[in-house]
Structure 1
Amino acid sequence: MSQTATFETQIPNRLDRLPWGRFHWLVVVALGVTWILDGLEVTLVGSLAGAIHQSPALRLTETQVGLTASAYLIGAVGGALFFGWLTDRLGRKKLFTLTVLVYLVATIATGLSWDFWSFAFFRFLTGAGIGGEYAAVNSAIQELIPARRRGTTDLAVNGTFWAGAGMGAGASIFLLNPAVIDPELGWRLAFGIGGALSLSVLLLRRWIPESPRWLMTHGRKEEAEKIVGDIEAWVARDRGPLPPVEGAPIRLNPRSHTTLGEVASTLFRTYPRRAVLGVVLMACQAFCYNAVFFTYALVLTRFYGIEAAHIGWFMLPFALGNLAGPLLLGPLFDSIGRKPMITLTYALAGLLMALTGWAFAAGLLSAWQQTLAWTVIFFFASAAASAAYLTVGESFPLEMRAMGIALFYAIGTGVGGVVGPALFGWLIQGGDRTHIMWGYLLGAALMLLAAFTEWTLGFAAERRSLEDVARPLSHAGEDSTLR
């Protein structure tokens, strides 16, 4: 699959030695908004669950509310795999433009739904756009951010999911207030928020270049060198003279594409320990997050008697705790290291979730106490979940990075995320606190399993070049990659 003659390049070293500047802020804002959109979608449906359940047009049962959440996640799985495959073949920039367009159309269409099946279908398409975004955007961000700031930046960007969650919760407070607007119209208008936000994203992304790392492995050396030169000039205008380039150049034998057979061989023969680690981290956090957040509005309305219009007030503390976790703990993943911090955050979240599940079953918590408990738990769980995405992005070679992210997102979401909301919707509809407690204990056990797996199979990637953590498949020199 060689495309051009073997060549040497300093592109990775040139990008990693850059001081932080306005270019990096543009990358974070324009691409990182993906997580805001996902947080907006998840929390809107969680906060609007009561209103959607009571909608005379839709008339969804608790189980159907859980099933529509699963439809969103199934779409995210399919979108991640399909668009992730295209991202590695066609480039990062084309796909992070296409996927946000899919999301824009689908989320607006959701607000026009007329029954369960139309609502579930449009949620499926919305998820497909978001799933594709995760693959295209995660790979692009990691390839453009300097190595010494990659962990901090990736966790902070993933944490902005909860800025979107806060927007969704706040919007629901206003749009479900009968004194302001008819709730039947309000929940429909809420889905237009994401559409409006994604329009501004399209404009910002015009200024984001193609990943030079992707270009160099596909033999487009001159184009990659020009983009890096433009980035260097931009940063130099912002920060002054740049530090010298250090480190040996990388030697590449570029290729046009990577086959699915090579992807499978790399995952399960070259990096089997990393493959197991990625599956466990992604699946365990996906089960806990999606099980709790897609159905917590139902818990509040059924067991605590909270009105649907007031759900947003209880979602806001969730969002703040989840946003604060990656922002405050993120720098420790670059200083203390990935392995100890991922282990610690998963373990703390699991232990606290088990305690909260028991207290809920015993009837010891009020609605606000329950919400405070989840806020503390997901302060740690949010950092852990963000680190899972960081781990699968760093674990595998550049030529299959988007597909790797997509595959593990799909496996994690399919195993943990799709089952969780449907299971908890069914448990809540049964009305037995003890049964719901067992669901929470299952989630706690999974988080503890993830902590043990990280401690056993985790590896050091902090402050290291992506090409050092996982050698490109097109690398023409001796392979010294850690297994």
Structure 2
Amino acid sequence: MTATAWREGVSRYQWLVLFVAWLGWVFDSMDATIYAIVLHPALEELLRSPAGTVDAEQIGWYGGIIFSIFLIGWAIGGVLFGIVADFVGRTKTLIATILIYALFTGAAALSQEWWHLALYRFLTALGIGGEWAAGAAIVAESWPEDKRAKAAGILQSAWAVGFFLAAAFNLWLGEYGWRALFVVGVLPAFVSIAIFLWVKEPDRWVQARTLERRSGTVSTIKLPELFHPHLRRSTLVGSVLAFVAVFGLWGATNWTPTLIRTLPDMQGLDHAALAKYVSYAIMALNVGALGGYLSFGPLAERFGRRPVFALMCAGSLLMLPVAFLTPHAYPHVLALLPVLGFFNNGIFTGFPIYLPELYPTRLRATGAGFCFNAGRVLASVAPFLTGFLVTAMGTFGKAASTVALIYLVGLLVLPLAPETRGKPLPE
């Protein structure tokens, strides 16, 4: 298939659905990234004692707690709104979840204590997790079968764009302080208007819902069905793979801004200069991430889902210690971050491709939302663990490199994963 042939047969409406879901994910990513960027200055202000000093151990500890609370909220939102999306529809769920994460990202600017920030991040995460489940389902069900993987790659590329957007806003607004970045997080509310006006429920979902009503099998309690014998292995493997990816990202890679701030050649710089260097590092990471996002789909179509998941796990296992331990200056980190981003972030394209392929239409959002987020509850200990390891080992580099061992779990579970390449979505 040529570079342009795969686009043939895709209607304008299918492109519209992909674009609107993509835009929602862009702001998902931006809002999730904002905290990683402002973690250091925000906690410096919110934790400042009468003595006026806040050390790296305090920031690592409280930052890890807030990261963990955020992941728990993301998991709860993903599972809860996945069920809602199967019950009331993908479009309505997209609108509700975007409004939730936009409102509470903006509200985080009002924080006066560290626990205020933790609460707002929890509420933001409910919306971010739910929007993922609904977005993945609506794109999978709206696009042609033979073009689904590439559409999912484009959808996942939104995360790199969101990272770039967060870094760009940090460059533009860094001098105004960390609160200004959270205010910008209100912008996604406008996406919900576009969805309300232009996007309908997928025909697959409407037909499945109609069949449920006619047969009298409508139920909001669908989670137990994910563990019926014919779906149990898919659910367990999907959940473990998502757990590994999330654990590695939030336990290691998302500490990149803090790693940059602790480099020897970054010491003595003022906040504005540091904000710029952090932004450039986030951009470098996501140049590689964008390559990974867009590569996963074509590779998965050619070689299968399992081999590409294995490639991403092995690359992450190798590159995290290389990127976090070997460099001692900013230029070295900047050169390594794109390679890390390709593997460590690129793996996430696999989930909007693979997870919807494991479940029938009536369970698709519930199943995808559960798998992608159930492991997130366990993975929520990753930032907390990193904070503990920083205290025990003394550096973010050593802590993040230890966390990288989680990718061995992914490599071990992959032989049990069902291969879905070339198969239609289950009805």
Question: What's the TM-score once normalised by structure 2's chain length?
Answer: 0.87
2:3 maps to none
1:51 counterpart = 2:34: no
Deviation at 1:220, TM superposition (A): 6.7
1:134 counterpart = 2:132: yes
Deviation at 1:259, TM superposition (A): 5.5
Going from structure 1 to structure 2, the CA distance change for 1:56 and 1:392 (only over 3 Å counts) comes to closer
2:230 maps to 270
- 1:309 maps to a residue whose letter is A
Structure 1, residues 117-174: CA drift from partner, whole Å, max 9, x if none?
2111111110001111112111111111111111111122113111100111121122
Going from structure 1 to structure 2, the CA distance change for 1:254 and 1:208 (only over 3 Å counts) comes to farther
Equivalent position SS for 1:148: helix
Equivalent position SS for 2:418: coil
Alpha-carbon contact 1:57-1:114 (below 8 Å) kept? no
Alpha-carbon contact 1:392-1:405 (below 8 Å) kept? yes
**Structure 1, gaps ≥5 residues long:** 1-15, 222-251, 473-483
1:279 counterpart = 2:239: yes
Structure 1, residues 17-53: CA drift from partner, whole Å, max 9, x if none?
9811321221111112232122212321112122212
2:180 maps to 189
Deviation at 1:324, TM superposition (A): 1.8
Alpha-carbon contact 2:79-2:369 (below 8 Å) kept? yes
Please give the alpha-carbon distance, in whole angstroms, between the structure 1 residues aligned to 2:372 and 2:22. 17
Alpha-carbon contact 2:40-2:258 (below 8 Å) kept? yes
1:27 counterpart = 2:27: no
- 2:313 maps to a residue whose letter is Y
Give matches, 1:334-483, under 5 Å: 334-356=301-323, 360=325, 364-416=327-379, 418-430=380-392, 432-433=394-395, 436-437=397-398, 439-443=400-404, 445-454=405-414, 456-467=415-426, 472=427
Going from structure 1 to structure 2, the CA distance change for 1:17 and 1:108 (only over 3 Å counts) comes to closer
Which structure shows the bigger proportion of residues in helix conformation? 2
Please give the alpha-carbon distance, in whole angstroms, between the structure 2 residues aligned to 1:342 and 1:414. 21
Going from structure 1 to structure 2, the CA distance change for 1:209 and 1:256 (only over 3 Å counts) comes to farther
Going from structure 1 to structure 2, the CA distance change for 1:256 and 1:111 (only over 3 Å counts) comes to farther
Deviation at 1:87, TM superposition (A): 1.3
Count of equivalent residues: 407
**Structure 2, gaps ≥5 residues long:** 1-5
Please give the alpha-carbon distance, in whole angstroms, between the structure 1 residues aligned to 2:406 and 2:307. 18
Equivalent position SS for 1:55: helix
Deviation at 1:283, TM superposition (A): 0.5
Alpha-carbon contact 2:75-2:126 (below 8 Å) kept? yes
1:98 counterpart = 2:96: yes
Please give the alpha-carbon distance, in whole angstroms, between the structure 2 residues aligned to 1:20 and 1:451. 35
Structure 1, residues 194-236: CA drift from partner, whole Å, max 9, x if none?
3113313422442111121111112279xxxxxxxxxxxxxxx
Deviation at 1:438, TM superposition (A): 5.3
Please give the alpha-carbon distance, in whole angstroms, between the structure 2 residues aligned to 1:69 and 1:402. 25
Identity of aligned residues (%): 22
Deviation at 1:372, TM superposition (A): 2.8
Deviation at 1:76, TM superposition (A): 1.0
Equivalent position SS for 1:294: helix
1:292 counterpart = 2:252: yes
Going from structure 1 to structure 2, the CA distance change for 1:438 and 1:294 (only over 3 Å counts) comes to closer
CA RMSD of aligned residues (A): 2.7
2:158 maps to 160
Please give the alpha-carbon distance, in whole angstroms, between the structure 1 residues aligned to 2:343 and 2:328. 21
Give matches, 1:78-157, under 5 Å: 78-157=76-155
Please give the alpha-carbon distance, in whole angstroms, between the structure 1 residues aligned to 2:110 and 2:399. 37
Please give the alpha-carbon distance, in whole angstroms, between the structure 2 residues aligned to 1:209 and 1:192. 30
Going from structure 1 to structure 2, the CA distance change for 1:118 and 1:303 (only over 3 Å counts) comes to same
Going from structure 1 to structure 2, the CA distance change for 1:176 and 1:88 (only over 3 Å counts) comes to same
Alpha-carbon contact 2:28-2:159 (below 8 Å) kept? yes
Question: What's the TM-score once normalised by structure 1's chain length?
Answer: 0.77
Equivalent position SS for 1:176: helix
Alpha-carbon contact 2:91-2:195 (below 8 Å) kept? no
Please give the alpha-carbon distance, in whole angstroms, between the structure 1 residues aligned to 2:99 and 2:32. 18
Going from structure 1 to structure 2, the CA distance change for 1:102 and 1:353 (only over 3 Å counts) comes to same
2:205 maps to 214
Please give the alpha-carbon distance, in whole angstroms, between the structure 1 residues aligned to 2:48 and 2:201. 43
Going from structure 1 to structure 2, the CA distance change for 1:110 and 1:305 (only over 3 Å counts) comes to farther
